[in-house]
Structure 1
Amino acid sequence: MNSRPNQNIAALLGFFIAPLGFLYVARLWQAVVYIILALGVTGTYIYYLHHPPYWDAILVLCSAFVCSTYIYRLAKHYPDDKPRPHYSRWYGLLGCALGYALIALLIRSFGLEPYHIPSGSMQPTLPVGSYIVTSKWGYGHYGSYGITLARRPLSQSPNRGDIVVYERPSTPDLRFVSRIIGLPGDRISYRDYTLTLNGQTVALEDKGTLAVDWSQAFSHKLEKLPGQYHDIQFSSEIPTVQTTLSAATVQGCTIANNGIDCTIPSGNYFVMGDNRSQSADSRIWGFLPADNIVAKVIHIIP
């Protein structure tokens, strides 16, 4: 007895998990093609269309309905005398699902992991609601979905100007994103929105203003770190002392003349958000230990 596929089960799998639906009706290559097309369409859609309102939900629902209907018809017309392969049985489907979940976990844990940006601390570089893709290999925090697979010392040193995902020493369960401004041994001074690095003032090129909201405009500058240029923003209506008062208690830093002066100890980094007026960073809570760096940002999806 070949146990023909149940049409209702086929329709449900087709609607919620289309690849498993194709496997259930013994269409292995169609499952593979569906996964490839889905990844390609999703990547193109996110990269080029930047999440138009409601379109993503409509696209997903239409695709689910078409797949469900098609897979239902495949189950309905499945030949009585055609043997069902092992991968279409319940244990084969379960194995495929677990294998896919394991591959996804390993990729996100050791390779590439996406993050959503909910705040404006890295504006204008990372707009609120944007997505980033990070590289995790070499940074020692291997895990995803709240699962830790391994912890190793940092084996890949970040460069000045890199945007990194990290855990603050005081809140290890939360992830933040900032730009590395100072390396171990650097002398940092930040005063009146002017950065001095090892005695040299970092040049700023004016790029006009940014209308962040209806009530406030931010100055838009190009900050020229050695070997790396990037955009920053700040508002003169927000005094810099508000972002540096807490640093009086940070070892190696002093507050003077409405600014902060620090010497970065070995094994630590100084990070700041590109939104210099609205970022809780090393000016507030101190230096970032190397072992707290989780990943490096390699791609930004606006």
Structure 2
Amino acid sequence: MTTDYKSRPWLAVLLNLFMPGLGLVYLNRLALAAATILFFPLLLLIAGRAGLVFSALGFLLVTLLLTCFWLASAIVVFRLARRHPLASRGWLQRWYVLLAIGIGAYAALQFCISFRGVLFGYDIFNMPASSMETTLLVGDDFIANTLAYSRSGGQGPQRGDVVVLQNPVKAKLKYVERIMGLPGEQVSMRDGRVLINGKAIADEHAFHDLSKPEQVSNQQFTVPPDSYFVLGDNRNASLDSRHFGPVPAEKIYARVELVWFSYGVSSVRWDRLGLAVK
């Protein structure tokens, strides 16, 4: 059973700001409501799978598009409510059904965001420790490509890649490290330098925090097949392959691509926004 009722523009806008598309359900514009609700996860899916979010310009454009669409949908809802004050009211427009739809749609969106690494092809992290200074600083928010090594025909992890990985011993812990040793190589360290098969390699990203004791490792590691030797750039403050050994390839979760936000001790570090991680 449906009846005509007078819609309230302010209520329609509030509903739509809470969950884009909910205000359109209130106005009984169901097709438009469904398209609006689906817009956000579909855009994130396309942007992630196509790699748009891994460049500063692409990330900015996607963020602006999401924000503008959110605000524009509220304006559209307001104008529709003013232009057509009488709308057909069915069971979907009852307050408790609207509440259930709003909570359900919001929960579904949060579920997708929580599993964005699997669904959308990217994940977002905050750097809590100094183990990757000066490449990544404490307070950096960065985006990582979870499909970097899973595409058919693509390259596997390369020396120098900064990656997010699962701790081989404690799977729930994720670390950020730099790949230094490849499968089958002999890795050792001498006088702060990394030696591969007995020869020192370029290591321009290494940082030695002189306020902390030097972590000396005279052990030579043989990297097993399909495994990688990883080190933190801050060699005096990193828990890495010197402690837990080479990391199996299946434990490498994503490749770090971009710092999208950074907050220091008391202010935003504007010079780091959009910084490509190398």
Q: TM-score, normalised by structure 2?
A: 0.63
Does the Cα contact within 8 Å between 1:113 and 1:135 map onto a contact in 2?
yes
Residue of structure 2 in register with 1:136 after alignment: 146
Residue of structure 2 in register with 1:13 after alignment: 15
Aligned to 2:163, what secondary structure does the other structure show?
Answer: strand
Q: Is residue 108 from structure 1 mapped to residue 125 from structure 2 by the alignment?
A: no
- The Cα shift of 1:2 comes to 3.8
Supply the distance in 2 between the matched residues of 1:281 and 1:166 (Cα, whole angstroms).
10
Residue of structure 2 in register with 1:159 after alignment: 158
Aligned to 2:250, what secondary structure does the other structure show?
Answer: helix
Using a 3 Å threshold, how does the CA distance of structure 1 residues 92 and 64 change in structure 2: closer, same or farther?
closer
Supply the distance in 1 between the matched residues of 2:129 and 2:24 (Cα, whole angstroms).
40
Aligned residues: 232
Supply the distance in 2 between the matched residues of 1:132 and 1:17 (Cα, whole angstroms).
26
- The Cα shift of 1:78 comes to 3.6
The structure 1 residue matched to 2:205, chosen from 231, 240, 243, is: 231
1:159-207 deviations in whole A, cap 9, x for unaligned? 111111111122211211111111121111112211111121124xxxx
Supply the distance in 2 between the matched residues of 1:95 and 1:3 (Cα, whole angstroms).
25
Residue of structure 1 in register with 2:190 after alignment: 191
Residue of structure 2 in register with 1:288 after alignment: 247
Supply the distance in 2 between the matched residues of 1:87 and 1:156 (Cα, whole angstroms).
50
Supply the distance in 2 between the matched residues of 1:169 and 1:160 (Cα, whole angstroms).
19
Read off the aligned partner of 2:207 and give its amino acid letter.
Q
Supply the distance in 1 between the matched residues of 2:258 and 2:13 (Cα, whole angstroms).
37
Residue of structure 2 in register with 1:278 after alignment: 237
Read off the aligned partner of 1:231 and give its amino acid letter.
H
- The Cα shift of 1:272 comes to 0.6
Using a 3 Å threshold, how does the CA distance of structure 1 residues 16 and 286 change in structure 2: closer, same or farther?
same
Structure with bigger strand share is: 1
Using a 3 Å threshold, how does the CA distance of structure 1 residues 138 and 234 change in structure 2: closer, same or farther?
closer
Supply the distance in 1 between the matched residues of 2:213 and 2:114 (Cα, whole angstroms).
44
Supply the distance in 1 between the matched residues of 2:10 and 2:194 (Cα, whole angstroms).
65
Residue of structure 1 in register with 2:130 after alignment: 120
Supply the distance in 1 between the matched residues of 2:160 and 2:249 (Cα, whole angstroms).
15
Supply the distance in 2 between the matched residues of 1:284 and 1:99 (Cα, whole angstroms).
40
- The Cα shift of 1:24 comes to 3.6
Read off the aligned partner of 1:109 and give its amino acid letter.
V
The structure 1 residue matched to 2:221, chosen from 262, 270, 281, is: 262
- Structure 1 residue runs of 5 or longer lacking an equivalent are 49-59, 141-154, 204-222, 224-229, 245-254
Q: TM-score, normalised by structure 1?
A: 0.59
1:30-73 deviations in whole A, cap 9, x for unaligned? 958x969x989xx99x958xxxxxxxxxxx9xx99998798567
Supply the distance in 2 between the matched residues of 1:199 and 1:275 (Cα, whole angstroms).
22
